Amino acid sequence: MLLRLTDRGLWCEAADIYIDPWAPVDRAVVTHAHADHLRWGHRHYLVSEAGLGVSRHRLGAQADRVSAVAYGETTTINGVRISLHPAGHILGSAQIRVEYKGEVWVVSGDYKTDADTTCAPWEPVRCHTFITESTFGLPIYRWPAQQQVFDEINHWWRENANAGRASLLYGYALGKAQRLLSGLDPSIGPILTHGAVETMTSIYRDAGVAMPPTTYATVDQRDPAWSRAMVVAPPSVDGSTWVRRFGKHAAAFASGWMQVRGARRRRGVDRGFTLSDHVDWPQLLSAISATGAERVWVTHGFTGPVVRWLQEHGYEASAIATRFEGERDDAAVDEAESTESETGGATS
Amino acid sequence: MIRFAALYDAIDASTGTQAKTDALAEYFANAPAADAAWAVAFLTGRRPKRLVRAPDLRTWAAELANIPDWLFEESYAQVGDLAETIALLIPENTAQSARATDISLAEWVEQRLLPLRTLAPAEQRTQLFEAWNTLRGTARFVYNKLLTGAFRVGVSDGLVVRALARTSGVEADVIAHRLMGHWEPSAEWFETLVSSATSDADWSRPYPFFLAYPLEAAPETLGAPGAWQIEYKWDGIRAQLIVRRGKVFLWSRGEELLNGRFPEVEAALALLPDGTVLDGELLAWQDARPMPFTALQRRLNRKTVGKKLLSDVPVHLVAYDCLELEGRDIRTEPMRERRKALEHVHEQLIARHAERSATPLTVSLSPLINVASWDDVSERRSEARAQEAEGLMLKRADSPYGVGRKAGEWWKWKVSPLSVDAVLVYAQAGHGRRSGLYTDYTFAVWLDNTLVPFAKAYSGLTDAEIREVDRFVRANTKEKFGPVRTVEPRLVFELAFEGIQESTRHKSGLAVRFPRIARWRRDKVATDADSLETVRAMLRAQRNET
Ligand SMILES: [Zn+2]
Ligand SMILES: [Zn+2]
């Protein structure tokens, strides 16, 4: 096997590299900067050029251990050819292609194949073995068109603004928040951000991604114009003292989980918008088919149903147990994020 | 249908009653009368029964979604709601739904939904495919909800009444009264419902029931006990009895006509003068006192009653209130005056009955509890269970007979619940708001060295606790039987309930009433839980209370 699952993560023995390892290693190749994929403590990191800014920020004191390659550029170690290709998940997210003696493996990381102007679009990479996530691997998950969701969000914002209440929109600080910002209509009112979101957004701007003007909502400010404002914040602030400064407001959560009513109600927000940075069921199936892979390993999410479906359709498929988390909807993740937001990180 | 789906979304998206009432009023003002009629029916819980067999629905939905049955079941397990699972699984046929013109709610219901019941399965399948391919989003979900007989929406009857009153300018009490009893939704019916003309309301129709709030504050906050009429809170079926134009109508609080089910009570009521309406409680009755609620249950689902059941479980009406006297609506008169009217009516009844029959009269007055202090009241409450009562009712002596619930007029003061520490042994996934989470629990107590299941409970935990228990269930499953998981017996909960009865249908030999989770006893391990013997002792103590 070119790649093997070890207790530190996915390991390529021939090159002695790990992909998104969860325990300290010498050389880590990292798909993207979410906390369950990019972890502290490795000696050396390789990421995509587009992801250099967010990765360095996330690693803080260990930022100098990171080096980057452009998408599609090949690095060779011990005869193993390694290259990174756009995954369409968040800024800098990559699929990792590993080739040795003619055999090709691709690790998807987190990915989606639909529209998003804040990162490079997913590209199919032909391979023999594809390792895919399955966060939303059930046919009940089918995303509406991105523009339709943005229209709904702007409509909701406009109604709130006309009723004199602020709109609080919750999405993970890295990736989801910037995608939401890219879809907002700034003519409706001012756009405010939580500190964790603002930090990440400025890194997106530095990387040349177009973002609407935003204002960091600090504690000591308060402005009457806020009654028309859209506030983009991580979900962990819901119900905390942080939101009190906005007075009367409506709250919404943007996530793939919002597709199902029960999940929407449990969130306890006024609205749920179905917007995800992971593949839905149709995207998952067409992505797998586009890789031409015969063998598929399935990780974090609905591994059972996806493996069975693939097997019934002639793939050699199996589930592997990793420590990646996908897009979670429970409180534990919010807590993890709120502690991380001090250093600007996010789990998704 | 699109308009009704939009109303559903608006109600679903808003948490405040104001926003819900606005959405309802806007709907009633703009929808065609025939649609509005069906909307009123569905929103007040008059939904059609399941129209298509659930296994057929699953098979056909999987077929149209082009997925194997096992994947349908995996999806259903995640969503927790059949109607929603189907709505999500079938890809939207945008070409077909774009071509389709919107069909009104009334046409959907009358021409396409209700006729399904009598169609052959193959015909049903064709009709469902057509509907699923044309409808999208919430409209498709609402259609499925009506199909499965599970349509529910988060508005109270009171909100619907308020919105209708606002749109029509007719008083809310009048609307509420017109909504009671039996009616068929139609455009004409809706016109009458919102008409400002003082039409002679259907004479069989009950008045809206007046309800009590649970008393949470100390009774001393209510002022002097002399200002209150105090009675037992009987544990039977609340009913309204109407005698008009020589006929008797017996209505349940669920607005179900009970005629024919309690012949012994009806026969006595027929002796009342025309133009009498009473409010009371139907109770199983023996030796001049109520039997436990389980006895009454044997009579409940019978449309006709045999001789044996009639003599095993005789039923009796305990009268609380008089709403109409000699054809006059006296609901606005104070409680103390209505009580006098009730006593007067009852005396007449005793006299007439004595002339005609030697059997005991099956109608009595709910006795008043006369007390000098709140301490006395409290004392009487603690003995209520020995009377087969759930607690006490406190009615302000000058209260009118209102509509629905109104704070400050009537209070129910229930007996403090019994409680037991029990171990979680089985869990099942919930539905609706709790779908996809393990929220329905079965609890057990010890009998020697084994745990005997003795109660099920669904409510009482916070959302955070529910998620925690859900994770525990998933991580500690021993066995799966269909939707039920057997879990490691480790978590202990304090269960509260209102009463205990013997039961031959339960493994434990006991049945508890209204069990709920009082709190999670994280401080206890399974071996600390109570034993079946403790629960049996509670049953004995409950019987001996005097
Ligand atoms: Zn992930
Ligand atoms: Zn991610």
3-state secondary structure of A329: coil
Residues A248 and A333 in one domain: no
Of A238-247, B36-45, B91-100, B271-280, least confident by mean pLDDT is B91-100
Query: For residue A330, what pLDDT is reported?
Result: 41
A18 belongs to a structural domain: yes
Question: What's the mean per-residue pLDDT of chain B?
Answer: 88
Identify residue B92 by its one-letter amino acid code: E
Residues A246 and A130 in one domain: no
H-helix segments, chain A: 52-59, 146-162, 176-183, 195-206, 261-267, 281-291, 303-312, 331-340
* CA nearest to B470 within chain A: A330
Closest CA to B237 of B212, B203, B262, B213: B262
A14 belongs to a structural domain: yes
CB contact under 8 A, A139 and B65: yes
Query: For residue B322, what pLDDT is reported?
Result: 97
Residues A163 and A245 in one domain: yes
Q: What is the mean pLDDT of residues B397-411?
A: 89
Which residue's entry shows tokens 């999987």? B62
Among A225, A242, A273, the domain-final residue is: A273
Q: What is the DSSP letter of A51?
A: G
CA A179, A115, A34 angle in degrees (round to 5)?
A: 45
Residues A174 and A213 in one domain: yes
Among A273, A301, A332, the domain-final residue is: A273
For residue A111, what are the contacts with CB-CB under 8 A and spacing of at least 6?
A: A87, A88, A89, A93, A95, A122, A133, A278, A279, A287
For residue A284, what are the contacts with CB-CB under 8 A and spacing of at least 6?
A: A132, A134, A136, A137, A306
pTM comes to 0.70
Closest CB from A262, A271, A312 relative to B433: A262
Could you tell me the distance, in angstroms and rounded to a whole number, from the CA of residue B66 to the centre of ligand 1?
A: 29
In degrees and rounded to multiples of 5, residue B29 shows phi and psi of -70, -30
Q: What is the pLDDT of residues A14-44, one digit of tens each?
A: 999 999 999 999 999 999 999 989 999 999 9
Q: What is the pLDDT of residues B253-280, one digit of tens each?
A: 877 778 888 999 999 999 999 999 999 9
Query: For residue B232, what pLDDT is reported?
Result: 94
Q: What is the pLDDT of residues B418-432, one digit of tens each?
A: 788 999 999 988 766
Contacts of A263 in chain B (CB under 8 A): 436
Q: What is the pLDDT of residues B351-374, one digit of tens each?
A: 999 998 888 899 999 999 988 888
Distance between CA atoms of residues A322 and A20, nearest Å: 10
DSSP string covering A275-308: --SS--HHHHHHHHHHHT-SEEEEEEESHHHHHH
CB contact under 8 A, A140 and B75: yes
Query: For residue B113, what pLDDT is reported?
Result: 94
Residues A259 and A173 in one domain: yes
Residues A132 and A194 in one domain: no
Query: For residue A333, what pLDDT is reported?
Result: 38
CB contact under 8 A, B68 and A312: yes
- CA distances to B224, B377, B395, B546 from B369, rounded to whole Å, are 15, 8, 12, 16
Number of domains comprising chain A: 2
Residues A193 and A137 in one domain: no
Closest CA to B230 of B336, B343, B342, B347: B336
A253 belongs to a structural domain: yes
Query: For residue B198, what pLDDT is reported?
Result: 59
A178 belongs to a structural domain: yes
For residue B518, what are the contacts with CB-CB under 8 A and spacing of at least 6?
A: B417, B419, B460, B493, B494, B495, B496
Q: What percent of chain A shows pLDDT beyond 90? A: 79
3-state secondary structure of A218: coil
pLDDT band at B201 (very low <50, low <70, confident <90, very high): low
Q: What is the pLDDT of residues B287-298, one digit of tens each?
A: 888 988 778 878
Between residues B464 and A343, the one the model is more confident about: B464
Contacts of A262 in chain B (CB under 8 A): 79-81, 432-437
CB contact under 8 A, A331 and B67: no
CB contact under 8 A, A138 and B434: no
Would you tell me how many other CB atoms lie within 10 Å of the CB of residue B373?
12
The first and second tokens of residue A102, run together, are 């003619």
pLDDT band at A64 (very low <50, low <70, confident <90, very high): very high
User: Of the ligands numbered here, which is closest to the C-alpha atom of A172?
Assistant: 2
Residues A137 and A281 in one domain: yes
CA A119, A182, A47 angle in degrees (round to 5)?
A: 25
Query: For residue B433, what pLDDT is reported?
Result: 58
Contacts of B89 in chain A (CB under 8 A): 139-140
Contacts of B433 in chain A (CB under 8 A): 262, 265-266
Residues A237 and A126 in one domain: no
Could you tell me the distance, in angstroms and rounded to a whole number, from the CA of residue A22 to the centre of ligand 1?
A: 12
Of B77-86, B162-171, B423-432, least confident by mean pLDDT is B423-432
Q: What is the mean pLDDT of residues A54-63?
A: 94
Closest CA to B389 of B403, B360, B375, B369: B369
Say if CB A102 and CB A130 are below 8 A apart.
no
Query: For residue B204, what pLDDT is reported?
Result: 78
- Judge whether residue B79 has pLDDT over 50: yes
Would you tell me how many other CB atoms lie within 10 Å of the CB of residue B348?
14
Query: For residue A345, what pLDDT is reported?
Result: 35
Of A69-83, A190-204, B187-201, B328-342, least confident by mean pLDDT is B187-201
Residues A51 and A92 in one domain: yes
For residue A241, what are the contacts with CB-CB under 8 A and spacing of at least 6?
A: none
Distance from CA of A265 to the nearest CA of B (A): 6
Closest CA to B183 of B284, B310, B38, B21: B38
- Judge whether residue A335 has pLDDT over 80: no
CB contact under 8 A, B65 and A304: no
Most A-contacting residue of B18, B64, B79 (CB-CB within 10 A), to test interface: B79
Please indicate if any CB of chain A lies within 8 Å of the CB of B74. yes
Between residues A175 and B180, the one the model is more confident about: A175
Q: What is the pLDDT of residues B487-526, one digit of tens each?
A: 999 999 989 887 788 887 777 888 888 788 888 888 778 8
Query: For residue B542, what pLDDT is reported?
Result: 67
Please indicate if any CB of chain A lies within 8 Å of the CB of B192. no
Among A246, A273, A300, the domain-final residue is: A273
Please indicate if any CB of chain A lies within 8 Å of the CB of B91. yes
CB contact under 8 A, B79 and A262: yes
Distance between CA atoms of residues B399 and B351, nearest Å: 30
Q: What is the pLDDT of residues A117-155, one digit of tens each?
A: 999 999 999 999 999 999 999 999 999 999 999 999 999
Burial, A102: exposed, middle or buried (Cβ in 10 Å; 0-12, 13-18, 19+)? exposed
Say if CB B392 and CB B377 are below 8 A apart.
yes
Can you give the CATH number for the domain in which A168 is found? 3.40.50.10890
A348 belongs to a structural domain: no
- Phi-psi domain of A72 (left: phi exceeds 0; alpha: psi -120 through 50; beta: other): left
Residues A283 and A259 in one domain: no
Query: For residue B23, what pLDDT is reported?
Result: 94
Distance between CA atoms of residues A141 and A128, nearest Å: 27
For residue B76, what are the contacts with CB-CB under 8 A and spacing of at least 6?
A: B58, B82, B85
- Judge whether residue B150 has pLDDT over 80: yes
Distance between CA atoms of residues B457 and B443, nearest Å: 8
pLDDT band at A344 (very low <50, low <70, confident <90, very high): very low
In degrees and rounded to multiples of 5, residue B365 shows phi and psi of -90, 145
Query: For residue B407, what pLDDT is reported?
Result: 78
Please indicate if any CB of chain A lies within 8 Å of the CB of B481. no
Burial, B334: exposed, middle or buried (Cβ in 10 Å; 0-12, 13-18, 19+)? middle
Q: What is the pLDDT of residues B203-236, one digit of tens each?
A: 778 899 998 887 877 788 899 999 999 999 998 8
A42 belongs to a structural domain: yes
Residues A19 and A66 in one domain: yes
Query: For residue A119, what pLDDT is reported?
Result: 97
| Ranges A69-73, B113-117, B411-415, most confident | A69-73
H-helix segments, B301-383: 307-312, 335-356, 374-382
- The pairing of strands B213-214 and B410-414 is parallel
Could you tell me the distance, in angstroms and rounded to a whole number, from the CA of residue B472 to the centre of ligand 1?
A: 23
User: Of the ligands numbered here, which is closest to the C-alpha atom of A94?
Assistant: 2
- The pairing of strands B389-396 and B228-234 is antiparallel
Q: What is the pLDDT of residues A301-331, one digit of tens each?
A: 899 999 999 999 999 999 998 777 766 544 3
Query: For residue B520, what pLDDT is reported?
Result: 87
Contacts of B74 in chain A (CB under 8 A): 138, 302, 304-305
- Judge whether residue A340 has pLDDT over 80: no
A71 belongs to a structural domain: yes
Please indicate if any CB of chain A lies within 8 Å of the CB of B23. no
Closest CA to B284 of B272, B296, B302, B269: B296
Distance between CA atoms of residues B10 and B30, nearest Å: 15
Distance from CA of B112 to the nearest CA of A (A): 26
- Core vs surface per residue B273-310: b (16+ CB within 10 A) or e: eebbbbbbbbbbbeeeebbbbbbbeebeeeeebeeeee
HSE-up of residue A37 (Cα within 13 Å, Cβ side): 31
Q: What is the mean pLDDT of residues A66-77?
A: 97
For residue A238, what are the contacts with CB-CB under 8 A and spacing of at least 6?
A: A168, A170, A251, A253, A268, A269, A334
Can you give the CATH number for the domain in which A48 is found? 3.60.15.10
**Domain encompassing residue A198:** 146-273
Q: What is the mean pLDDT of residues A255-281?
A: 88
